[in-house]
Amino acid sequence: MRLLSLSLWRSGGARHLLSYSLRSQSLSELSLLKQHIEAQAKELDHRMHRVEELEEKERVANENDVCFVVWLWAVGNLREIEGLMMDIAQEAAAGIGVEQQFVAADYLKVHFAESWNEMHHLLIMELNANCLVDSL
């Protein structure tokens, strides 16, 4: 089209034919450019939508990672708590054993003191009885 209009121009053809040719070419180029821009806008919109999808997947994955980390932390704490509870139970059992030994020792002490007092009383009575027998 451009060649035709240039050849008409050189050959003394009408100026309006050249301007029409340039306008029609410009319109067709603009139309093609518009189609190209619309296609690029559509592609850009598609890519933006894809980016949003990927960002959402990443957010969900990060939330899952956080949940997993929290779960691991909770499990670790539960194991630590279980260990502490077992330690407390063992200490309580040991405490009960110590208490039983203390009660038994206290019982033996009281029983020994009572026996000691009885023996002491019996010895005094026997000594008194021997003294009475000797004095007679």
pLDDT of residue 52: 93
pLDDT of residue 131: 75
CA–CA distance, 74 with 71 (Å, rounded to integer): 5
CA–CA distance, 45 with 29 (Å, rounded to integer): 24
Among residues 5, 2, 21, which one has the least CA distance to residue 13? 5
pLDDT of residue 8: 46
pLDDT tens for the 136 residues of the chain, in order: 444 444 444 444 445 444 555 566 677 777 888 888 889 989 988 999 999 998 998 888 888 777 787 787 888 888 888 888 888 888 888 888 888 888 888 888 888 888 888 888 888 888 887 776 666 6
pLDDT of residue 88: 86
Give, in order, the Cα–Cα distances in Å from 2 to each of 25, 61, 108: 8, 58, 127
pLDDT of residue 53: 92
Per the structure block, which two tokens stand in for 20?
Answer: 């029409």
